[in-house]
Amino acid sequence: MNIAILAGGISPERDVSLSSASLIAAALMRNGNKVYLADVYEGIPESVTIDGSIFRSDYNYSYKVEETVPDLDAVIAKNGGRKELIGPGILELCRAADVVYIGLHGAMGENGQLQATLDNFNIKYTGSGYVGSLLAMDKDLAKILMGRAGVPVPTGEVCDPRDPKAKDIALSVGLPCVIKPCSCGSSVGISMIDAEDQLDCALAEAAKWEDKVLIEKRIVGRELTVAILDGQVLPPIEIIPKSGYYDYKNKYQSGLTEEICPANIPAETVKRLEKYTRLAFDALHLRSLARMDYILTKDGEAYCLEANTLPGMTPTSLLPQAAAAVGITYDELCQKIVNLALK
């Protein structure tokens, strides 16, 4: 089939998206499909004719994730300062395809805006719909809904990081705490706070990315993630950074984090994580696939930190590892995600 893969965009996770999408494109071509990978922001070159011939089965896409977050201002400047999030020819490309694989991370690719746009044109696409995408992307809304469904979540408060009272709000939450933008992924803008004198810098860092931040009581314990695919909860993975915490660099640079799949945890804990993952998935109105991140404390309680509707598919990403643990190869995983979109 002809598959349009959308990646890039104007998001701090732009590079991660392009890396994921390159691997997805290769897998789908190996499966016998024809693809066209497009940067959703930069669009299609004017010289390219948008019809069935645009899709190919023999192109080599590749992209490397750098250690730091991409310079989005430079990307915008390169495109003449264009403010539109969807570039020239993108909708035409999507309409020419049998299905769209959303390989984006963050911003409009994950907050429901792109999904709503594709719905308006009756275009089939992978992942959750616009409602689930919106609810999961906003960490505050997601926590409220997951908590109501019976999923344990950290306590916290939302504020504008530029508010003069933001520091007092953080102190009322209590130290140690975590400060994070409400709608960023890949640990962008996150700070782990142990002392009061770290708050000003942390709030300033979060303010670079968003004017709504979540200040949470820091839960100490083992970091776990659990994916769900087509109704099947996959084995939990334990994430162990070799230094620091699971930040942007440790996530996407090979060899900096140890991942153990399946995680070495009691069977009862596995069952509880499966229960929480299903509850969160339903509470957020998700579909097809998602991944939930947890902290497991010493006393055995698991707190859900957030839900990811478009899990990464880079060489170091977690969903492919969890799928492999139940016998699903990378190529099979990519095809399965496409097939779910066509249901």
pLDDT tens-digit map of 16-52:
899 999 999 999 999 999 999 999 999 999 999 999 9
Q: Which range has the worst mean pLDDT, 59-68, 110-119, 137-146? A: 59-68
Q: Name the catalytic one among 14, 272, 287, 291.
A: 291
pLDDT of 187: 62
pLDDT, tens digit, 9 for 90 and up, residues 203-249: 988 888 888 899 999 999 999 999 999 999 999 999 997 655 444 44
Alpha-carbon dihedral sign for residues 45, 49, 51, 53: negative
pLDDT, tens digit, 9 for 90 and up, residues 69-93: 888 999 999 999 999 999 999 999 9
Domains 136-152+220-328 and 156-217 share a fold: no
Q: Please give the average per-residue pLDDT across 287-315, as a whole number.
A: 93
pLDDT of 251: 45
pLDDT of 255: 61
Angle (nearest 5°) at CA 43 between 119 and 105: 60
| Averaged pLDDT score across all residues of the chain | 91
Q: Distance between CA 43 and CA 323 in Å, rounded?
A: 32
Q: Name the catalytic one among 17, 183, 186, 317.
A: 186
Angle (nearest 5°) at CA 90 between 84 and 96: 155
pLDDT of 237: 97
Q: Name the catalytic one among 293, 301, 331, 332.
A: 293
Q: Please give the average per-residue pLDDT across 282-297, as a whole number.
A: 97
CATH numeric code, 156-217: 3.30.1490.20
Tokens describing residue 105: 């991370």
Q: Name the amino acid, one letter, at 336.
A: K
Q: Please give the average per-residue pLDDT across 111-122, as a whole number.
A: 97
Statement: residue 250 has pLDDT above 60: no
- Backbone φ and ψ for 162, nearest 5 degrees, come out as -90, -5
Annotated active-site residue 186? The verdict is yes
Q: Name the catalytic one among 43, 306, 317, 330.
A: 306
Residue-range domain boundaries for the chain = 2-125, 136-152+220-328, 156-217
pLDDT of 185: 56
pLDDT of 268: 97
Annotated active-site residue 312? The verdict is yes
Q: Does domain 136-152+220-328 have CATH number 3.40.50.2300?
A: no
Q: Name the catalytic one among 8, 9, 11, 13.
A: 13
Annotated active-site residue 293? The verdict is yes
Burial class (CB in 10 A: 0-12, 13-18, 19+), 27: buried
Statement: residue 107 has pLDDT above 90: no
Domain 2-125 fold is Rossmann fold (3.40.50)
pLDDT of 141: 94
Annotated active-site residue 95? The verdict is no
Q: Give the residue, 189 or 295, on which the prediction is more confident.
A: 295
